[in-house]
Amino acid sequence: MRRGLELTPFRGLRYDPDRVGSLAAVTSPPYDVVVRPDGLHHLESADPHNIVRLILPQATTPIARNEQAADTLRRWLSEGVLTTDPEPGLYVYEQRDGDGMLQRGIIGALRVSDPSEGVVLPHEDVMPHVVADRAALMRATSANLEPLLLTYRGNGSASAATEFVERVAGRPPLLATTTEDGFSHRLWSVTDPADLARIQSDLAQHQALIADGHHRWATYRRLRTEHASPSPWDYGLVLLVDTARYPLRVRAIHRLLHGLPVADALAALEGLFRIRHLPVPLPEALDALADAACAGNAFLLAGDGAFHLLDRPDPDLLARTIPAERPTAWRTLDATVLHSALLDHVWHIPEDDPARIAYIHDTAATVEKAERDGGTAVLMHPVREEVVRDLARQGVTMPRKSTSFGPKPASGLVLRALDL
């Protein structure tokens, strides 16, 4: 019988509310969602103990950055800014916004597994330099500083774990705060052995899809191989959400092409795509992108004060640039066409060179940075969750940074130290 999800309790590391300005002021989006430098500076100034000082330390060299994060973590522990919960537990976590979005899940230490085991399914490729960067930070701090977002498909409210999550949410929380994005966050600790056993037994019947955190999961896998088993590195910090009960939002991740003006990007595409110039505001341009995406591959370029809709790619371009041996569902993805046809063959931009390309989740921020820096923003239309899950079950990975599932867990509410 195939092994399922193995979620184990841990002693959570949490901010002491009496030692910080507010819990909201010390939280951050995940490290790869922070738009640097604007967002980084904003978070650093929100509170001297903001978690961004651990997940995105600032120094002149990578080694210095990681040493700084490790020193900061040790100092906060010695000063009591961060304290360890008295006994191991799993944590029920709730996020809610003013638009009716409600997400609940369970935070725990999940046994790290390889894709071949079919327990945790990746759906995107990763960039080796990002994995190396995250691994160096985790080695230096000996900690999982923020949870990954994983989804599984239970039986709605009938599943034991989801039923328990709903019941716990009726209790007074361990902590509650509202962040500046309007999301309220609540956290509960589950330590009763019978409750833990019930949750673990239910989750052991399921497999999970990585919704957000492919690079950190790849980092967990790398670090596990560096330590003799059994060890704390056999497990990694995750948030598991049952999307049969709490469907996630799926958004696109956009590209910012440094050093490529929009005029040059468009000139290289003449005859390869239909190009329509849209002198309209961003919301209307995105509506036009959504309409075009219903009929085929489509992209929106920005950065020169206007929007330019690309669709109807030249079939000959696709035939000579998209690998023919891959499944049709993969070959027709917008991200596949963007990376294989446009980045590789038309614009000649390496997808893993941070000096040439950035991946940004916020649509308006991508456009603003392109206009300010003289680059090109490539805006994408999101992929449906069922397409992502079907490809993952086939063992087919999508191009890196193809999707953005959310809401993402806030970083800073609970951490996992591997040496405690």
Widest CA span in the chain: 65
Helix (H, G, I), strand (E, B) or coil at 273: strand
What is the per-residue pLDDT across 211-269, written as a single tens digit (0 to 9) for each? 989 999 999 999 999 999 999 999 999 999 998 899 888 888 999 999 999 999 999 99
Length, in residues, of the chain: 420
- Measured between alpha carbons, how far is 75 from 368 in angstroms, rounded to an integer? 37
Residues with Cβ within 8 Å of 5's Cβ and at least 6 positions away in sequence, in order, are: 110, 111, 119, 120, 152, 203, 204, 206, 207, 208, 240
- Give the pLDDT of residue 398: 82
- Give the pLDDT of residue 327: 83
- Give the pLDDT of residue 384: 80
Low-confidence ranges of the chain (pLDDT < 50): 1
- Cα distances (Å, whole numbers) of residue 46 to 52, 90, 362, 401: 10, 29, 20, 28
- Give the pLDDT of residue 2: 61
- Cα distances (Å, whole numbers) of residue 191 to 11, 35, 93, 107: 10, 37, 14, 13
- Please name the helix (run of DSSP H) or strand (run of DSSP E) that holds residue 176, with its range, or none: strand 175-178
**By CB neighbour count within 10 A (0-12 exposed, 13-18 middle, 19+ buried), where does 174 fall?**
middle
> Which residue stretches of 80-183 are H helix?
128-141, 160-168
Q: How many CA atoms lie within 13 A of 338 on its CB side?
A: 27
Query: Which token pair is 37?
Result: 């430098």
What is the per-residue pLDDT across 314-369, written as a single tens digit (0 to 9) for each? 999 999 999 988 888 889 999 999 999 999 999 999 988 889 999 998 899 999 99
Percentage of residues of the chain with pLDDT beyond 70: 98
